[in-house]
Structure 1
Amino acid sequence: MSAAPQEYPYQQADPELALKYAIHHMKGDRAEIIEGVIEQVVPTWGHERAITSIRRQLDPRLIELDCEPGSGNLDLPGSANWYIPDLAVVPSRLVDAGGVLVPDQTLLVVEVTSESNGETDRVVKRRRYAEYGAPLYLLVDRQERACTLFCTPGPLGYTLVDGPHPFGTPVRLPQPFGVELATDRF
């Protein structure tokens, strides 16, 4: 005769928190969660060239603004999303505080498309960044060879769109940046 199973008072795990915890604490590979699907982040040299060009152009202004450029984690609480943008600009005080940031704590988010994720960057991430309050979203669309700046976020998307501008056409970033980005190296 076997004993009756013993009951343990485990709390039910929150699937969103468990998944995000696992992604955040992975060793080695970087991964993001897009609408509940885990995707490995593997930037190409083309991605890196575009991001490097943007960073170099922004650096003098970022020093003045006391901001940091990077590709750290962005949580979208209450959703099955955990993004690693190609570039995000955040105030240094938030980086110094440590922890995970959310899109409304950024000043600018940049995504560079690739063949495998172009539609995600064009549609899904644009919608989610707006919903979570990222004030500026710059889409560098390498397949369309154009840049589009999305501004004024809201729950239904961005209300101001500047572009698409063909590569080679400068893109003006509004305040607090107040700079014009050259796009000929994208």
Structure 2
Amino acid sequence: MIRPVEERYRTVRELFPELRIELVNGRIVVNDTGTWQHNTIIAQVLFQLVPVVAERGWEVWPNITVFLGDEADRYVPDLTVVPQNPVMESDEAVRGDSTLLLVDVVAAGNAYDDHVVKPMGYAPAGVPLYLVIDPFQRVVKLHSEPGPGGYARETAEPVGAPLLLPDPWHHLIDTGRLLDV
């Protein structure tokens, strides 16, 4: 049986297919298109990830829902990195445990969701790495080692400090290039 909020969520997605529509803590969230600063940060992340992604045959998807479970929220991160042939829940949703990295850039209205709500939803679904880039606090956080109660590890670095993405990446992110462009 589909929950009433799930029905409303699907209706909103059908009405506005060009927007990023999420179901966060039972709320339907319609995300604005990003500002030039938001998009510049995403581009800088891509520039640093693409060599590893291309070498390993992975893919970067900028607009896909992450399936977290039947009764769970539906999030759409700014970037989703998946292996070849990821497990899909539907044409529009990849299973959380079939991702390699999710990336969100904090916008003015979604800081709490990105820092608190989403890590608590992603970890039980098996999302291995969740990277949050916060241009307001000038910090980059990497959530790793997911489990049923949340992520066991959170690494926070100020902008300018390097951030190592663990296995299967083994790749260093230059956080200064993300915000100081």
Q: Taking structure 1 as the reference length, what is the TM-score of the superposition? A: 0.84
- Is the Cα–Cα contact under 8 Å of residues 35 and 79 in structure 1 kept in the other structure? no
Using the TM superposition, give the Cα deviation of residue 96 of structure 1 relative to its aligned residue in structure 2, in angstroms: 9.4
Match of 2:52 in 1: 61
Greater C-alpha radius of gyration: 1
Match of 1:160 in 2: 153
Q: Does 1:29 align with 2:7?
A: no
Matched residue of 1:93: which SS? coil
Q: Does 1:151 align with 2:144?
A: yes
Aligned alpha-carbon RMSD (Å): 2.2
Q: Does 1:141 align with 2:141?
A: no
Q: Does 1:89 align with 2:81?
A: yes
**Counterpart-to-counterpart distance in 2, 1:65 and 1:23:** 36
Using the TM superposition, give the Cα deviation of residue 19 of structure 1 relative to its aligned residue in structure 2, in angstroms: 3.6
Q: Does 1:182 align with 2:177?
A: no
Closer/same/farther in 2, CA of residues 36 and 115 from structure 1, 3 Å limit: same
**Equivalent AA in structure 2 for residue 160 of structure 1:** R
**Counterpart-to-counterpart distance in 2, 1:96 and 1:160:** 27
Closer/same/farther in 2, CA of residues 156 and 21 from structure 1, 3 Å limit: same
Using the TM superposition, give the Cα deviation of residue 17 of structure 1 relative to its aligned residue in structure 2, in angstroms: 4.7
Q: Does 1:15 align with 2:38?
A: no
**Equivalent AA in structure 2 for residue 134 of structure 1:** V
Any gaps of 5 or more consecutive residues in structure 2?
Answer: none
**Counterpart-to-counterpart distance in 1, 2:68 and 2:122:** 9
Using the TM superposition, give the Cα deviation of residue 98 of structure 1 relative to its aligned residue in structure 2, in angstroms: 6.7
Using the TM superposition, give the Cα deviation of residue 48 of structure 1 relative to its aligned residue in structure 2, in angstroms: 1.3
Using the TM superposition, give the Cα deviation of residue 93 of structure 1 relative to its aligned residue in structure 2, in angstroms: 1.6
Q: CA deviation digits over 1:90-138, x for unaligned, max 9?
A: 1132389972212111100111112211011000001111121100111
- Is the Cα–Cα contact under 8 Å of residues 67 and 92 in structure 1 kept in the other structure? yes
**Counterpart-to-counterpart distance in 2, 1:61 and 1:37:** 35
Using the TM superposition, give the Cα deviation of residue 175 of structure 1 relative to its aligned residue in structure 2, in angstroms: 1.6
Any gaps of 5 or more consecutive residues in structure 1?
Answer: 1-11
